[in-house]
Amino acid sequence: MRSVSDPSPVSLQNDHSEHHGPGNGAVIHVDTQEVAVAITADETLDCSGLACPMPILKTKKAIDALAVGQVLKMIATDPGSESDMNAWTSRTGHELVEHEVSDGTYTFYIRKVG
C-alpha cells in the first residue's frame, strides 16, 4: 500500500483500471467518473439584451475591478458572445473557466489572471 508521502507516480487508466503497486503485489482498483464542480462567481454581470461590442466592454470593466483569481459570471443573449468571449479571453490571457448555453442565454465564467 502507498503512503501519502510516497512520491512515486500512480498511473490511472480507463474505467475500472488496475495498477499493481511497486513490487508488493498490491492492486488498486480505480473507478473514474466525471465529477461536476460548481463554479462560484465573485461577481455577476448581466449583459442580456446587449449587442456587440457592449458585452465585451462591460466584461472588461468588470474584470478590471476584480482581484487576480476572482471569477466573473457574465450572462448574455447575443449569439455572437460565444466567439467574442473566446477571442477576448485568448487575447487578454484571462481564463474562460466554463461557458453554458441554455435557451438563448449564454453564461460565461471568467477568472481574472494577473
**50 φ, ψ to 5°?**
-95, 140
DSSP string, 18-75: EEE-TTT--EEEE-------PPPPSEEEEETTPPTTHHHHHHHHHHHTSPTT-EEEEE
Omega within 30 of 0 (cis) for the link into 22: no
Which amino acid is residue 44, in one-letter code?
A: T
Rounded-to-integer distance, Cα 28 and Cα 113, Å: 38
The single residue of 41, 52, 66, 75 carrying the catalytic annotation is 52
Annotated catalytic, 47? no
The catalytic site residues sit at 52
